[in-house]
Structure 1
Amino acid sequence: MKFGEIFGNFRKKQSSPKEAPSHWVKCSKCQSLMYFKEIEHLFNVCPKCGFHMRITAQQRIDLICDEGSFTEFDSSLAPVDPLKFVDKKSYKKRITEATAKTGRTSSVISGACAINGVSAQIVVFDFGFMGGSLGSVEGEKIVRAINRAIENKEGLIIVSASGGARMQESTFSLLQMSKTSAALTKLSDAGLPFISVLTDPTMGGVSASFAWLGDVIITEPGSLIGFAGQRVIKQTIGADLPEGFQRAEFLLEHGLIDMIVQRSNMKKTISDMLKFFGKNYKKDGYELKIKA
């Protein structure tokens, strides 16, 4: 057999870049290169500098919810295109691409779960679906989760990761800001707690509405949280911004959030808050439900 034939056979056995999984992860903060198993058991937190890398919505659910306890609701709800919106692509095409990418029909996953045995309703944003943008379907899912919490007398957790309101829906999207905020008023009137978890990034219409209305507002270290982007603000006011502006540590220092929690402690912190409200925040009877 000729050398070329041997070499040719060898090349055919090699995986293509698409077939071969990426086993190496580079930290965007300290630039350290790590084997993926190094950070897998650390919930995607860099062991070198502590940087909290972004994780998927499903990973977030697995992190917070007790194993096997999560039951999803309203998964069939899907956005429509009332404005026939087209920019570089049509809105319908963007929805199709986002669905193919994530396997979901919207940027919000909502359902019931148990967190260290405490029953709750949870909403998690998927930044992979059109940047976690807030549209009419996302707003409806949030309101339905709030209504379930009221009906079941349970606490509500919303984990935000969003670029803001979805421009392709225009006013329909902006209406979700007031719609969700009004629903949260009913939750508060029922004496039920809302824990808002802001992750990297939480911006725009999401941060300007329900994300800031939590009884407790929690963030992860280094999360970018704000309304307008830093470049827009700088151009508007014509001045340099403070160091660390819009990062979790800056917001905590200025009293805009309640606590910064390491990802490894997030589940325990949330369950502790739910138990605290169950004992101390009773109005019409918040029933702390502990699942065996």
Structure 2
Amino acid sequence: MNWITNYVRPKINSMLGRRDMPENLWIKDPESGEMVFHKDLESNQFVIPASGHHMKVSGKERLRFFFDGGKFELLDNPKAPVDPLKFRDEKRYIDRLKDAKAKTGMEDAILNALGTIDGLPILATVQDFAFMGGSLGMAAGEAIIRGFETAVERKRPMVLFAASGGARMQEGILSLMQLARTTVAVDRLKEAGLPYVVVLTNPTTGGVTASYAMLGDVHIAEPGALIGFAGPRVIEQTIREKLPEGFQRSEYLMEHGMVDMVVSRLDLRETISRLLKILTKASATEATDTVSPTATPTEIQLGA
């Protein structure tokens, strides 16, 4: 025990009325090293103003930024078996789940919410990377399916924000089953004639890109997001070749036709609103005023 640090200094600070400064008042830009005041960053949706670097954002904050007036109704996630394989590595899986729940305040990595964007009722599903890397397990799979079922039931377009490191290894083959189950849920939404827009955020990898994250009617990626099945390091070790600059990043994937457009988080609301109005044939006059009938996804992004 350090007597000066733990006793003398707090005593002096209390006598002089000093308060400790929070450690997270300033956030460092990973690209430029610039320090940004956290309130400025929050007001800019956690996009660094100078460099445009997109920081990770929690699921609830993303929903608040996305919906009209920041208002939305969260749906309850269905119950799913907990630790079905009684898995243990360095730590018991059930203890990892408890830690993740305490850290995030969430039951699992998925949030489903009802709300409106520019007055259009939609359902949004958000995958939160803070909960065990946004990994896809039985609980997350059930929640995603609940989102699709609710969208079909209420006849609402669906927007899904993907962020994941892949399937949850602690659930083995039971997590891999969710790839097929969520794919069926996507098909049911499309059979109902409802639009499905996917927003790929940093990172979206593993089994998620082998199922619902790559089955949208339109795929939008945030700038600089890592998107792919296997990571660049694994691919380089497998093919024993150096990968191109920017490989598996949003901009590279758009150039090669894997995503339709790259859109800043600051412009997502407007872009998705315009797309959904076109896809649902809602407010047709308003949509044709801003986007030509023959516009490609890139032209829509540029406001052509």
Unpaired stretches in structure 2, ≥5 consecutive residues: 1-6, 283-304
Coordinate RMSD, CA, aligned: 1.9
Q: Aligned residue for 2:236?
A: 234
The Cα shift of 1:77 comes to: 3.5
Match of 1:116 in 2: 118
Partner amino acid for 2:150?
R
Measure how far apart 1:63 and its partner are: 1.1
Partner of 1:65: 67
* Cα separation, 2, equivalents of 1:22 and 1:69: 27
Q: Relative to structure 1, is the Cα distance of residues 74 and 240 closer, same or farther in structure 2, using a 3 angstrom cutoff?
A: same
Residues 239 and 121 of structure 1: is their aligned pair in 2 closer, same or farther, counting only changes over 3 Å?
same
1:79/1:25 Cα in 2 relative to 1: closer, same or farther (>3 Å)?
farther
Q: Of the candidates 140, 153, 156, which is equivalent to residue 154 of structure 1?
A: 156
Deviation (angstroms), 1:11: 3.6
Q: Secondary structure at the match of 1:74?
A: coil
The match for 1:53 among 55, 61, 78 is 55
Q: Which residue of 2 aligns with 1:126?
A: 128
TM-score normalised by the chain length of structure 2: 0.86
Q: For 1:75 and 1:14, how far apart are their aligned partners in 2?
A: 45
CA contact (8 A) 1:127 1:161 kept: yes
Distance 1:220 1:83 in 2: 36
Which of 170, 173, 177 in structure 2 is aligned with 1:168?
170
Residue of structure 1 in register with 2:291 after alignment: none
| Match of residue 284 from structure 1 | none
1:165–1:173 CA contact under 8 A, matched in 2: yes
Residue 271 of structure 1, aligned match among 270, 273, 282: 273
Q: Residues 108 and 141 of structure 1 are in contact (CA less than 8 Å); yes or no, is this contact kept in structure 2?
A: yes
| Number of corresponding residues | 274
Inter-partner Cα distance in structure 1 for 2:118 and 2:207 = 31
Seen in structure 2, the aligned counterparts of structure 1 residues 9 and 65 have a Cα distance that, compared at 3 Å, is same
- Give per-residue Cα distances to partners, 1:137-181, cap 9 Å, x unaligned: 111111111111111111011101111110001111100001001
Q: Does the 8 Å CA contact 1:76/1:105 hold for their aligned counterparts? A: no
Q: Give the 3-state SS of the residue equivalent to 1:170 in structure 2.
A: helix
Hey, what does 1:39 align to over in structure 2?
A: 41
Q: Indicate conservation of the 8 Å contact 1:201/1:225, yes or no.
A: yes
1:266 is aligned with what amino acid?
L
SS at 2:160's partner residue? strand
Aligned 8 A contact 2:196 2:216 in 1: yes
The residue type equivalent to 1:189 in the other structure is E
| Counterpart for residue 28 of structure 1 | 30
Shift of 1:242: 0.5
CA distance in 1, matches of 2:184, 2:8: 70
Q: 1:99 to 1:76 in 2, by over 3 A?
A: farther
> Does structure 2 retain, via aligned residues, the 8 Å contact 1:79–1:105?
no
Structure 1 segment 171-190 matched on structure 2, within 5 A:
171-190=173-192
User: Displacement, 1:252?
Assistant: 0.4
Equivalent residues of 2:236, 2:243 under 8 A apart:
yes
CA distance in structure 2 between the aligned counterparts of 1:43 and 1:69, rounded to whole angstroms? 16
Other structure's SS at 2:247 match: coil
Q: In 2 relative to 1, CA 90–7 (structure 1 residues): closer, same or farther, beyond 3 Å? A: closer
TM-score (norm 1): 0.89
Task: Spell out the pairing of 1:191-210 with structure 2 (5 A cutoff).
Answer: 191-210=193-212
Q: Which has the higher contact order (CA 8 A, sep 6+)?
A: 1
Counterpart amino acid of 2:47?
V
1:69, distance to aligned residue in structure 2 (A): 3.7
**1:244 corresponds to:** 246
Post-superposition shift, 1:16? 5.6
Instruction: Describe the SS at the equivalent of 2:228.
Output: coil
Q: Is the 8 A contact 1:79 1:106 kept in 2?
A: no
**CA–CA distance in 1 between the matches of 2:80 and 2:150?**
20
Q: CA deviation at 1:42?
A: 1.2
Inter-partner Cα distance in structure 1 for 2:106 and 2:52 = 31
* CA pair 185-27 structure 1, distance change in 2 beyond 3 A: same
Tell me the percent identity: 45
Judged with a 3 Å threshold, the aligned counterparts in structure 2 of structure 1 residues 30 and 191 are, in CA distance, closer, same or farther, namely same
Which of the two has greater helix per residue? 2
Q: Tell me the distance in 2 between the aligned counterparts of 1:9 and 1:129.
A: 38
